[in-house]
Amino acid sequence: MTFKVRHSRLFALVLATIFALPFSLGWLTGLFIWTSPLVFLNSLSSQSLSWLSIIGAIILIFVTLRHRWYCRWLCPTGLLCDSVSKLSRLRVLKGMPPLGIFLAALVFGAAIFDVPALGLLDPIVAFHAFFSGFKVSLVPALLSMAGLIFIVGINFISRHVWCNKLCPLGGLQDGLTSLRKMMTKKDERATAFDVGRRAAIGALGGFGFAVLFKRSIATSASIIRPPAALPEGQFQSTCIRCGNCARACPTHIIQSSFDANDIAGLLTPKISFTHGYCLPACTACGTVCPSGAIKTFSKNDKKSLVLGIAHIDVENCLLSRHKECDRCQFYCDYDAVMIHPSDFELAAWPEINRQRCVGCGACAVVCPANAIRIEAAPQI
């Protein structure tokens, strides 16, 4: 490996780490995830392309023309795997057949049948998910970090086994190289046939996974999703659990869901108004979502994107205790809170206009009596 290549991947590792750290960088948040051609193909199959998808499209051209170009020059996870491999002399899995092409086809096959969630097998997605673990509680953190830990750690058991035998991103590049050679060299057709066979088996496996995954979805009426999220069942199958939306959220209200009774929804993003509310002008989560689970939306769209509905426990409201308060009305940017005068002296009562409320959580966060709660909007 030349000096130039070594330092290119080191620079990529530093850059990817900066973009993956658990804080918002605006539309740059999690930017490195868009460099993965596997993420690009995943989003292409699910018709969830963004303008940031251009990055993956360009790199897809490079890896088609130059064998494993991404692995050699850009992959931060590959650099970590190589570093661990240098510490080991073990080759426990030396006889393992190459499964990268099979796994790449598995990911792509599931995405074609509307389950892009297997994109979490992408080492770049696993890299980003690892850093998402620093923002969540212990159990979701361990689950988020497990992917990268496994990918890097398995190379200590058997040197270079991930990159050479298992990586679906590497397998995708091997398949593209084989296809290119088949089109230019007749003697490569036997190899291409073998690659095609493994890819076909993987695609069938992806279809089978998609069917089983959809059957396992148990939608919950209590979970509040980010704005512009797909309908619940589709959301669970489309989200790749990368954590980009949680990193990008300026008020830190997007968290990873963890419910032992809802395996299909594990680690998908949900809204919690513990730390703040959904800002009316913020479009960050839709901008940085690479899978299309959260659609891109504008500031103007935000006015009609319903997260949930606010409910007021009037008996706990300060107004019902003859105390002055209008914070819920003052902080509502959607004019969805009305305060009605009462027939009783110095008393009034608040009401939510359900036609205007989008469930942003502002009223619940500022209420000094904790008399307001946000409930998920009913699925249409």
Convert the pLDDT of each residue in 315-365 to its tens digit: 899 988 888 899 999 999 999 999 888 765 556 788 999 999 999 999 999
Residue at 19 is within a domain = yes
Question: What count of other Cβ atoms lies within 10 Å of the Cβ of residue 218?
Answer: 14
Q: How far is CA 25 from the centre of its chain?
A: 16
**Distance between CA 377 and CA 225 in Å, rounded?**
10
Q: What is the pTM of this model?
A: 0.87
Using an 8 Å Cβ cutoff, are 167 and 97 in contact?
no
Residue at 164 is within a domain = yes
- Determine which of 14-23, 39-48, 188-197 has the lowest per-residue pLDDT on average: 188-197
Residue 197 has a pLDDT of 84
Q: What is the mean pLDDT of residues 228-250?
A: 91
120 and 177 housed in the same domain? yes
Residue at 40 is within a domain = yes
22 and 102 housed in the same domain? yes
pLDDT, one tens digit per residue, over 254-290 is: 998 887 677 778 899 999 998 899 999 999 999 999 9
Give the structural domain span for 281. 232-303
67 and 134 housed in the same domain? yes
Percent pLDDT > 90 in the chain is 57
Instruction: Considering only residues 118 and 46, tell me which one the structure prediction assigns the higher pLDDT.
Output: 118
Q: Which of 216, 243, 263 is the last residue of a domain?
A: 216
28 and 147 housed in the same domain? yes
Using an 8 Å Cβ cutoff, are 244 and 234 in contact?
no
Q: Which of 183, 216, 249 is the last residue of a domain?
A: 216
350 and 209 housed in the same domain? no
311 and 278 housed in the same domain? no
145 and 25 housed in the same domain? yes
pLDDT, one tens digit per residue, over 284-326 is: 999 999 988 999 999 999 989 999 999 999 889 998 888 889 9
Residue 95 has a pLDDT of 82
Q: What is the mean pLDDT of residues 57-65?
A: 94
Distances (CA, A) of 366 to 308, 356, 361: 17, 19, 9
46 and 131 housed in the same domain? yes
Q: What letter does residue 98 receive in the DSSP assignment?
A: P
Instruction: Considering only residues 218 and 92, tell me which one the structure prediction assigns the higher pLDDT.
Output: 92
**Distance between CA 318 and CA 35 in Å, rounded?**
52
Residue 82 has a pLDDT of 94
Residue at 225 is within a domain = no
CATH of the domain at 321: 3.30.70.20
**Distance between CA 312 and CA 317 in Å, rounded?**
8
H-run or E-run covering 351: strand 348-352
Residue at 368 is within a domain = yes
Q: What is the mean pLDDT of residues 189-218?
A: 83
Residue at 140 is within a domain = yes
pLDDT, one tens digit per residue, over 4-25 is: 666 888 999 999 999 999 888 8
Percent pLDDT > 70 in the chain is 92
189 and 299 housed in the same domain? no
Q: Which of 256, 283, 303 is the last residue of a domain?
A: 303
H-run or E-run covering 256: strand 254-256
157 and 43 housed in the same domain? yes
Average pLDDT, the chain: 88
The residues, any chain, with a CB within 8 Å of residue 1's CB and separated by 6 or more, are none
Residue at 90 is within a domain = yes
Token readout for 53 is 């998808």
Model confidence band, residue 179 (pLDDT cutoffs 50, 70, 90): confident
How many folded domains does the chain comprise? 3
Residue at 223 is within a domain = no
Residue 24 has a pLDDT of 86
Residue 188 has a pLDDT of 61
250 and 371 housed in the same domain? no
35 and 183 housed in the same domain? yes
CATH of the domain at 270: 3.30.70
Helix axis angle for 100-112 and 189-216, nearest 10°, is 50
